[in-house]
């Protein structure tokens, strides 16, 4: 078992353009993991941990859907001598003193309630994106990680990508000068959601616990697996589901600034047939920082965009040139007014997205009590942009943000959206 220890302070290097650092030397101790939320991305994490033969063991699997539990248990079958225990209650996982760390990959509305209790129970936590469902939750997770001395890694895996490390060296050396503007885009192909009538809950599913802090309502498959992301009760729409990756890398390219002082947003429904949940299917947000730097985010539902067709990514605009950065694992640099071609990095495959390296970074941090590449503080500042942008869209006006009070200026409607009500007994743990 890995014993508790002081979490090292986030170093200056993590706040610079060279935010990707080399991993600490790996120790041999086996980390005992609790898996909370056994859906699609968790199966990816589990399979990669097994394939890399990390010195880990799976102590618990937790999900409210027994079919998801069974599918994940099947992946682990044969990996370890003793099969993991199974439960629908995350409390069983975090109460086990033999569990060193948890990986949380539930719907967004459960991320903060579970992680806050896990940190308080002395568990380190890998939290899938976004770290928070509403703005105020992120601050609580940061406070809990500090109070309890726990390691937190956010699922912003591009910070661990090999191509990110190469780009970081160039930006740190000033190849494009001082970065003034970062642009992020998400161009995912999304299907509209077919309307569905309320129905009986699938057999074995603990639906009340699935709803958790969200309002009570009848079961509807349209709001359940996969498509829950597009409903505000449970998810954060495209900007908070996939867009957070690109927003996080835009902040990274700007040098990880703290919070913006002004937010402007607009959006609409492009795909008018079918149903797309509570969110627009295209969105454009501009964030202004105190020193005049800008971050711009946009998403569209069907665009072929970027360096090699269907792509998500960024452009970093500097005083001496710009860098086009692909989330699929590539970048191109263009210098001067004539856009002279500079260094480039093209992927051998389209898969240099940092998944294995990011989990390795977390496990090494758990063993060695070192900072992670996507700490709670870094995650909170990136996820804050998701919440501030969505709020600006909902109130349909430009919003000024006070950095001291962390509240909007002269807009009570917007300030009410920085937090939410929690359905009892699934309330938020007080830090």
What does the pLDDT read at residue 336? 93
What does the pLDDT read at residue 27? 47
Residue 54 predicted with pLDDT over 50: yes
Residue 21 predicted with pLDDT over 90: no
The rounded distance, in Å, linking the Cα atoms of 17 and 316 is 11
Quick one: pLDDT band at residue 331, thresholds 50, 70, 90? very high
What number is the average pLDDT over the span 309-332? 88
Sign, Cα dihedral of 310, 313, 317, 323: negative
246: Cα within 13 Å, side-chain hemisphere: 30
Tell me which residue of 4, 409, 8, 19 sits closest to 248, measured CA to CA: 19
What does the pLDDT read at residue 200? 97
Residue 408 predicted with pLDDT over 80: yes
The rounded distance, in Å, linking the Cα atoms of 178 and 169 is 14
Q: Which residues contact 212 (CB under 8 A, 6 or more apart)?
A: 109, 110, 113, 423, 426
Range with the poorest average pLDDT among 93-97, 298-302, 408-412: 298-302
Quick one: pLDDT band at residue 341, thresholds 50, 70, 90? very high
56: left (phi over 0), alpha (psi -120 to 50) or beta: beta
- Is the CB of residue 120 less than 8 Å from the CB of residue 429? yes
- Is the CB of residue 35 less than 8 Å from the CB of residue 125? no
What does the pLDDT read at residue 78? 93
What number is the average pLDDT over the span 58-86? 97
Give the residue ranges of DSSP H helices in 55-206. Answer: 66-76, 90-95, 111-120, 135-148, 162-172
Q: Which residues contact 108 (CB under 8 A, 6 or more apart)?
A: 130, 133, 229, 234, 235, 236, 240, 241
Sequence ranges of the domains in the chain: 12-159+354-375, 163-193+222-353+383-416
What number is the average pLDDT over the span 306-313? 62
Mean pLDDT of the chain: 89
Identify the DSSP state of 161: -
> Residue 379: helix, strand or coil by DSSP?
helix
pLDDT tens figures, 202-236 = 999 999 999 999 999 999 999 999 899 999 999 99
Of residues 294 and 192, more confidence is placed in: 294
Based on its alpha-carbon atoms, the radius of gyration of the chain, rounded to whole angstroms, reads 21
Quick one: pLDDT band at residue 151, thresholds 50, 70, 90? very high
What does the pLDDT read at residue 195? 83
What does the pLDDT read at residue 353? 78
The rounded distance, in Å, linking the Cα atoms of 334 and 176 is 8
Percent of the chain with pLDDT over 70: 87
Sign, Cα dihedral of 347, 348, 350, 354: negative
What number is the average pLDDT over the span 145-149? 98
Tell me which residue of 228, 227, 226 sits closest to 68, measured CA to CA: 226
What does the pLDDT read at residue 52? 87
Range with the poorest average pLDDT among 11-15, 40-44, 332-336, 414-418: 11-15
Residue 97 predicted with pLDDT over 60: yes
- Is the CB of residue 113 less than 8 Å from the CB of residue 119? no
How many secondary structure helices (H) and strands (E) does the chain include? 12, 16
What is the rounded (10 degree) CA torsion for 230, 383, 40, 357?
160
pLDDT tens figures, 256-288 = 999 999 999 999 887 665 556 899 888 999 999
The rounded distance, in Å, linking the Cα atoms of 362 and 367 is 9
The rounded distance, in Å, linking the Cα atoms of 111 and 106 is 7
The rounded distance, in Å, linking the Cα atoms of 311 and 308 is 7
- Is the CATH number of domain 163-193+222-353+383-416 1.10.1840.10? no
pLDDT tens figures, 392-402 = 999 999 999 99
What does the pLDDT read at residue 7? 28
What does the pLDDT read at residue 348? 58
> Residue 245: helix, strand or coil by DSSP?
helix
Can you identify the CATH homologous superfamily of domain 12-159+354-375? Answer: NAD(P)-binding Rossmann-like Domain (3.40.50.720)
Tell me which residue of 327, 93, 86, 384 sits closest to 188, measured CA to CA: 327
The rounded distance, in Å, linking the Cα atoms of 387 and 137 is 11
């Amino acid at each position: 078992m890995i014993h508790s220890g002081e979490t090292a302070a986030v170093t200056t290097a993590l706040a610079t353009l060279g935010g990707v650092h080399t991993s600490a030397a790996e120790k041999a101790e086996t980390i005992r993991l609790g898996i909370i939320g056994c859906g699609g991305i968790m199966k990816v994490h589990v399979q990669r941990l097994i394939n890399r033969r990390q010195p880990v063991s799976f102590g618990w699997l937790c999900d409210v859907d027994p079919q998801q539990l069974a599918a994940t248990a099947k992946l682990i079958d044969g990996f370890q001598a003793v099969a993991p225990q199974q439960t629908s209650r995350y409390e069983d996982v975090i109460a086990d003193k033999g569990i060193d760390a948890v990986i949380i990959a539930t719907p967004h509305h459960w991320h903060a309630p579970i992680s806050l209790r896990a940190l308080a129970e002395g568990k380190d936590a890998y939290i899938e994106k976004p770290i928070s469902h509403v703005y105020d939750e992120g601050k609580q997770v940061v406070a809990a990680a500090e109070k309890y001395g726990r390691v937190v890694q956010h699922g912003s895996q591009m910070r661990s990508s090999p191509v990110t490390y190469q780009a970081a060296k160039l930006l740190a050396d000033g190849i494009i000068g001082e970065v003034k503007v970062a642009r992020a885009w998400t161009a995912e192909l999304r299907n509209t959601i077919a309307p569905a009538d309320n129905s009986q809950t699938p057999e074995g599913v603990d639906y009340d616990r699935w709803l958790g802090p969200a309002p009570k309502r009848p079961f509807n498959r349209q709001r359940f697996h996969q498509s829950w992301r597009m409903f505000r009760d449970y998810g954060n729409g495209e900007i908070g589901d996939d867009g957070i990756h690109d927003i996080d890398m835009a902040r990274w390219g700007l040098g990880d600034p703290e919070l913006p002082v002004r937010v402007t947003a607009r959006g609409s429904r492009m795909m008018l047939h079918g149903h797309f949940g509570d969110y627009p299917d295209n969105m454009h947000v501009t964030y202004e920082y105190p020193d005049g730097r800008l971050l711009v985010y946009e998403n569209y539902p069907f665009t072929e965009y970027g360096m090699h067709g269907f792509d998500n990514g960024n452009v970093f605009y500097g005083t001496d040139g710009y860098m086009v950065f692909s989330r699929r694992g590539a970048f191109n640099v263009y210098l001067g007014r004539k856009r002279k071609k500079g260094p480039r990095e093209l992927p051998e495959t389209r898969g240099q997205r940092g998944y294995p390296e990011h989990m390795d970074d977390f496990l090494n941090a758990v063993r060695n009590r070192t900072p992670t590449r996507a700490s709670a503080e870094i995650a909170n500042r990136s996820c804050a942009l998701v919440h501030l942008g969505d709020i600006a869209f909902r109130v349909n006006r430009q919003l000024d943000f006070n950095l001291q009070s962390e509240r909007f200026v002269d807009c009570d409607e917007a300030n009410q959206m920085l937090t939410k009500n929690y359905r009892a007994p699934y309330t938020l743990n007080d830090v």
